[in-house]
Amino acid sequence: MTGHDHPPTTDPIDIGEKAPPFPELLGVDGNTYSSSMFASKKALVILFMANRCTTAQAYTERIDAIQRDYADLGVQVIAINSDDPSRSPSETYLEMVLVAKERNYSFPYLKDEDQAIARSYGAELTLHAFLLDQDRRVRYRGRVDDSPNPGFVRSNDLRNALDDVLAGKEVRVKETRPFPCGVDKFVLCPSCGSRLDL
């Protein structure tokens, strides 16, 4: 597997396990980013997402708000697109650039061309969040919150986990199930067609 020594997997990395570093990935701003560039950050939020994923679209403002609200606390959101553009033409790097500009992303949006990073994390859906602490151990994985409709949110799962990690506490809920707008190696997402070939 290119860029790191972790074997391919479709199983999410375990809570408490050290997250695999990622090599240089091309961002929509034309710069390359690697996990080592964020070494000073107290926490990283790794989000696997896709351009046309309806769940990702619904969460654009909430993800931006998390980046804004937690930036001064040493948190960095990093979005990674691992969809195969040969199967999904709307997931090319050029389309990513257009989408990021249109939606005004305030965080790096990176292309995982060979799906190596998605495999190493075991990302299952195209809005799948992984929260890493300062030691880069996974402290939370799952959804951003409990409803794609912001008016119905009752549990801000990712924010709660961030608050716990930054306070040096045990994360109250360590894992949730992401919403089914993503894919595995066998089926396309029923709502948006997104597909990760893991």
The per-residue pLDDT for range 26-73, each reduced to its tens digit, is 999 999 999 999 999 999 999 999 998 888 889 999 999 999 999 999
In this prediction, residue 161 has a pLDDT band, given cuts at 50, 70 and 90, of very high
Most confident of 10-24, 31-45, 171-185: 31-45
HEC letters along the chain: CCCCCCCCCCCCCCCCCECCCCCCEEECCCCEECHHHHCCCCEEEEEEECCCCHHHHHCHHHHHHHHHHHHHHCEEEEEEECCCCCCCHHHCHHHHHHHHHHHCCCCCEEECCCCHHHHHHCCCCCEEEEEECCCCEEEEEECCCCCCCHHHCCCCHHHHHHHHHHCCCCCCCCECCCCCCCCCCCCCCCCCCCCCCC
In a domain, 52, yes or no: yes
> 142 is written with which tokens?
């799952």
pLDDT at 180: 67
pTM for this prediction: 0.86
Residues 117, 119, 121, 125: what is their CA dihedral angle, to the nearest 10 degrees? 100
Residue count (the chain): 198
Lateral strand order in the sheet of 43-49: 32-33, 25-27, 109-111, 75-81, 43-49, 127-132, 138-142
Question: Average pLDDT in the 86-98 region?
Answer: 92
pLDDT beyond 50 at 183: no
Q: Which domain holds residue 133?
A: 25-166
pLDDT beyond 70 at 192: no
In a domain, 177, yes or no: no
In a domain, 53, yes or no: yes
> 88 is written with which tokens?
């999904």
In a domain, 105, yes or no: yes
In a domain, 127, yes or no: yes
pLDDT beyond 60 at 1: no
In a domain, 88, yes or no: yes
Average pLDDT, the chain: 87
CB atoms within 10 A of CB 103: 16
For residue 106, which amino acid is it? S
In this prediction, residue 191 has a pLDDT band, given cuts at 50, 70 and 90, of very low
Alpha carbon distance 174, 158 (integer Å): 9
In this prediction, residue 181 has a pLDDT band, given cuts at 50, 70 and 90, of low
| Side-chain-side CA neighbours of residue 178 (13 Å) | 26
pLDDT at 147: 92
pLDDT beyond 70 at 102: yes
In this prediction, residue 7 has a pLDDT band, given cuts at 50, 70 and 90, of very low
On whether the CB atoms of residues 65 and 108 are closer than 8 A, the answer is no
Angular region, 104: left φ>0, alpha ψ -120 to 50, beta rest: left
In a domain, 20, yes or no: no
In this prediction, residue 2 has a pLDDT band, given cuts at 50, 70 and 90, of very low
- Count of structural domains within the chain: 1
pLDDT at 129: 96
The enclosing domain of 153 has a CATH number of 3.40.30.10
In a domain, 78, yes or no: yes
